[in-house]
Amino acid sequence: MAFDIKRLVADRFGENYALHEKYVNPTLVDVFRTIGFDRVYARGEGAYLWDDTGAQYLDMLGGFGVAAIGRNNPVVAGAIRDVLDMDLPNMVQMDCALLSGLLAEALVQRTPDHLDAVYFCNSGTEAVEASLKFARAATGRDRFVHFRNGWHGLTLGSLSVMGGDQFREGFGHLLPGDEVAVGDLEHLERILAREDTAAVILECLPSHTVQLAPKGFLGDVQRLCREHGTLLICDEVATGYGRTGTMFAFQHFGLEPDIIATSKALSGGYVPVAAMICRREVYSGVFSRMDRCWVHSSSFGRNNLAMAAGLATLSGLDDADMLRRSAEQGRKLVDAVNGLRARHEVLKEARGMGCLVAIELQQPSGGAKKVAWDAVHAVHESLFPQLVVMPMLSRHRIITQVTGSHDPIIRLMPPFVIKDDDIRWFVDALDEVLARSHRLPGPMVEMGKNVMKVKFLGRRAKAEPAPA
């Protein structure tokens, strides 16, 4: 029988969570069930998703930023279909394919002149790994400096430069380096003066807290790097390709990084793709002789489908004026949310650049709202924002999520194509949810019911086999 992917999906649709529970990550399934995120989505378009009942959702998370130009963007979809129809030889390896050369050219044309060499890989953390490895080769040094609020990925090298310890538990010794608090220039200078640091890695706008560094700090970091022969890596995985309203976030701050790591939005939401872009002299430090032409490589890094997705995404960013749209819609979103502060003491502020936005909550000063905050905070310090996120989905069909840090922050990374009506949909929903947030035990009861459901389903899963 001929393979029919459409028939397979139709026949097995709805088994999503049972399959993942048995064969993939049952703990993640438990989390989704506990917070009420165990929806089965059937279709996506632009800034919207539709579930198996036909209900429409507003996607304010955008797959953590991959759906920057909208889900199932027709330009990107068309480019991928065209490449498939062309029957191009893909991943020959012993050749230089045209599409990877064209995408490298297009990327270099959109970066400052000094960033003129491109390495392709498959994900943001791979781009960060490449950045670290290339920095070591170029400088002959082993150590790295990262900042306390940075997010750089979860593979071993990237994990070594992650801020905080939350994701490091259980993974043993990591790469040598130092963690510095944002704003602590004196500490950074003492470290770099040892001249054993290969690179400083940073997010110009931290993607999890969306908290700007003190004015002038990033420029001082670059100056110290130059003085001590240390490379500067800007992690643009979350912020690149228009997310902050410019092509790259470092452009807001007048920086000239030696290396940038990019991914997420470059994929157009379809095919994994990442690019590390750097100075040619850094690149040459790795590929320094003919017998070293493959000392860092990836089998899938230059595949034609990924390259086509990247080229189409860049075209979409240009043709649809997406950078301007990201800046404008993000500004409207921040202003509209901040307009609720007078009504809700628990809302500290909304802040952001472009369509990267954080909504930070705070402890109310007194009364029932403070009692509710303290009761929830005693369970877990990041639980209160989760109790806002849950009814945003269950009552208003809006997808958001907390940052995963210990800060009471809800992060938004919507597609740039969100409309003014979508912003109003979101703000009206947030207004209603915040107004009800102090009414204990309401949100806690909802989570408690979900916990019981998870326990019941877990017992049933042990008794009954998952679908074959």
Q: What is the CATH number of the domain that holds 267?
A: 3.40.640.10
The residue with tokens 């490379």 is 231
The reply to whether 264 and 390 lie within a common domain is: no
Count of the separate structural domains present in the chain: 2
Give residue 356's pLDDT: 98
Note whether residue 397 is domain-resident. Answer: yes
Confidence check: pLDDT of 459 > 60: no
**Do 278 and 304 lie in a common domain?**
yes
Residue-wise pLDDT for 319-332, tens only, equals: 879 999 999 999 99
216 and 190 assigned to the same domain: yes
Q: State the pLDDT at residue 353.
A: 98
Strand order in the sheet with 117-121: 117-121, 274-278, 259-262, 231-235, 197-202, 143-147, 177-180
Question: Are 284 and 332 contained in the same domain?
Answer: no
Same domain? 49 vs 127:
no
Structure tokens at 387: 């109790």
pTM of the model: 0.93
Domain boundary among 319, 341, 357: 319
Whether 41 is covered by a domain: the verdict is yes
Tokens 């005693």 map to which residue? Answer: 378
- Same domain as 399, residue 361: yes
Do the Cβ atoms of 305 and 87 come closer than 8 Å?
A: no
468 or 48, which is more confident?
A: 48
**What's the one-letter identity of residue 213?**
A
Q: For residue 464, is it within any domain?
A: no
- 153 and 249 share a domain? yes
Residue 228 maps to a domain: yes
Last residue of a domain, one of 319, 336, 358: 319
pLDDT band for position 455 (cuts 50, 70, 90): low
Share of the chain above pLDDT 70, in %: 94
Question: Does residue 12 fall inside a structural domain?
Answer: no
Among 319, 348, 374, the domain-final residue is: 319
Q: What is the mean pLDDT of residues 441-449?
A: 57
107 and 143 assigned to the same domain: yes
- Pair 59, 102 in one domain: no
Rounded CA-CA distance 108/465 in Å is 52
Residue 444 is assigned to a structural domain of this protein: yes
Burial level of 223, CB count in 10 A (0-12/13-18/19+)?
Answer: middle
Residue-averaged pLDDT of the chain: 93
Q: Using alpha carbons, select from 434, 365, 426 the residue that is nearest to residue 399.
A: 426
Residue 13 placed within a domain: no
Same domain, 182 and 135: yes
For residues 310 and 333, state if they share a domain.
Answer: no
pLDDT at 313: 98
Question: Do residues 436 and 394 touch, judged by C-beta distance below 8 A?
Answer: no
pLDDT tens digits for range 149-182: 899 999 999 999 998 788 998 999 999 999 999 9
Q: For residue 312, what are the contacts with CB-CB under 8 A and spacing of at least 6? A: 73, 75, 76, 78, 79, 80, 268
Domain that holds residue 216: 74-319
- Same structural domain for residues 62 and 80? no
CA distance 128 to 286: 15
Q: Is residue 193 part of a domain?
A: yes
